[in-house]
Structures are given as structure tokens and as C-alpha cells.
A and B are shown apart, each in its own frame.
Chain A
Amino acid sequence: MGVTKENLEASLKAKLNPSHLEVVDTSGGCGASFVVEIVSEQFEGKRLLERHRMVNAALEEEMKEIHALSIKKTVTPEQWKQQQEANQSNAAA
């Protein structure tokens, strides 16, 4: 019983083919609360709302048991690269 970080990762990988994926269990171990960051080509040309809908759909089964899910990032590989570069230049400055 309970959903694990691995469950979420498996579903997201299978359905959204992410090039980067980070799932953090913020529940303190009970499997009720997660934060998700996902980079996928499938987000290309989609509005933020549609991207979130895609993540919701991918996690439809798990959602029944999760109590809190925060989707922090749904970006395309291109956006991800830009963000990484921006972060690096900020760090260097």
C-alpha cells in the first residue's frame, strides 16, 4: 500500500518519456506528498495548463492515493537547457 517515488517515476517515464525527471517524496516517508520536476519533449507547443493535465493523466492511478502533489516544473528540453545556463551564469556572477 502507499505510493512510492519509484511508482511515480515509472509511470511518468512510461507515459511522458522525460529527458530529466525529479520526484521528491515530501511526505516524510508515508508516500502521501510529492514534488515533481519533469522535462519532456512532449510538452513542446503545449500551454502550462495542458502540460499539467498531461502529468495528471499520467498519474491518474497514483493520484487516488497521493494526498499532495506539487508539479514544480513542466518544461521542454530546450527550456530546461536555457534555465540551466541561466542558473550557471547567475552562479558565476
Chain B
Amino acid sequence: MSWCYCAKPLTLPPQLHSRASSSSSFHSRVGGVTVTTSTLSLRPSPPLVFTHNLHFQPKIKRASTTIRCASALTPQLKSTLDTVIASNKIVLFMKGTKDFPQCGFSNTVVQILKSLNVPFETLNILENDMLRQGLKEYSSWPTFPQLYIDGEFFGGCDITVEAYKNGELQELLEKTMLS
């Protein structure tokens, strides 16, 4: 497992700022959990948008320490994650985005997946602390990135790198894309 805590404040090059701020994926902090994935899959399918504004009211905003003690994985979040993972063959929960990874370990996994030419979804866990804490429980994995393949937790950065080096990742992805 590889991971890091490089939670730097989000800084984007100025030319990208206007584009980014109008994107719904940057709205999660204000509006509760909004999970948006851009769909790159070969088959046309509608983009996934899960909004649970009602269930994630700002009451949790200032209570980040309590969240860690209590369970961050609410039934609503769990079912949202179930759906995201079931409807996408490859999902990467990471720090930053596919185009702007904000952590070296997340970047490594993105580069591996890109090099293998497979469509994959990414979710930026830095944008939503509920999602970030809940996922640790959901996957029983303490860190990010977290890679899901074909509905199953595959591993973090070290596991992905090792599987890539010995060819197991390629094999699994090939099988997954054909299924």
C-alpha cells in the first residue's frame, strides 16, 4: 500500500480556474455529496450523478473529529458507493483528478491505467471528507488511492504497481473489459 497526505489546498492554473469552478464535481463541499463521474466507457451510458443533499447536511462540517470516531459510512453513502462501483468496471478513488492528480501515489495509478488504454472513472476524495472517511471503512483500507476493478477492491498504489509489473493487472483488466 502506498499513500500520502499531500492535501495541499487546491490550486489550479488560472486558465483552468473558470472551467473548473463551473464543473459540478467541484460543488460537493457546498452541496453535500455530489459524486460525478465523467464517462469514458466504450459503450454509451449516461454520466452518473448521485446527489444526496438531504442526507448530508452541513451539520457535520465542523465536527470532523467526531466523524472519525463515529461511522462515516452511512447507509446512504454505502449504497451510493455500491452503485458507483457496480456501474463502472474500473473506479479509482484518488487525491485530485485524472488530469490533475494531487498526490504522487494517485498519479502513479492514473499513469498505469492510462498506459493500459482502459476506460476508468476517478473520484476526487479531497473534495468530500465524508466520502474520504467513509471509503476507508467501506474498503477496510486506510489510505488513498483505492482501485476497484469489476466491483471488487483491487488495492492501493503498491499493489497496483506490483500487479502491473508482473502482468496480473493487464490480465485482469483484459478479462474485465471483455466481460
| CB-contacts of B114-172 with A (<8 A) | 140-143, 153-159, 162-163
| CB-contacts of B60-100 with A (<8 A) | none
- A49 in contact with B142 (CB, 8 Å): no
Chain B residue at minimum C-beta to C-beta distance from A63: B142
- B2 in contact with A69 (CB, 8 Å): yes
- B153 in contact with A67 (CB, 8 Å): no
- A68 in contact with B142 (CB, 8 Å): no
Instruction: Answer yes or no: A72 CB below 8 A from chain B CBs.
Output: yes
Identify whether the interface residues of B are mostly helix, strand, loop, or mixed: mixed
Instruction: Answer yes or no: B4 CB below 8 A from chain A CBs.
Output: yes
Given contacts A55-B1, A68-B3, A69-B3, whether A48 and B163 have CB atoms under 8 Å apart is yes
Q: How far is the CB of A46 from chain B (nearest CB, A)?
A: 13
| CB-contacts of B1-38 with A (<8 A) | 1-5
A-chain residues with CB within 8 Å of residue B163 when the two chains form the complex: 48
Instruction: Answer yes or no: A83 CB below 8 A from chain B CBs.
Output: no
A-chain residues with CB within 8 Å of residue B3 when the two chains form the complex: 68-69
A60 to B4, CA, bound (A): 15
Show 25 residue pairs from A and B whose CB-CB distance is below 8 angstroms, ordered by the A residue. A32-B5, A33-B4, A48-B155, A48-B162, A48-B163, A52-B1, A52-B158, A52-B159, A53-B140, A53-B141, A56-B141, A56-B142, A63-B142, A63-B143, A68-B2, A68-B4, A68-B5, A69-B1, A69-B2, A69-B3, A69-B143, A70-B1, A70-B2, A70-B157, A71-B1
Instruction: Tell me the B residues contacting A by CB distance below 8 Å.
Output: 1-5, 105, 140-143, 153-159, 162-163
Instruction: Tell me the A residues contacting B by CB distance below 8 Å.
Output: 32-33, 48-49, 52-53, 55-56, 60, 63, 67-72
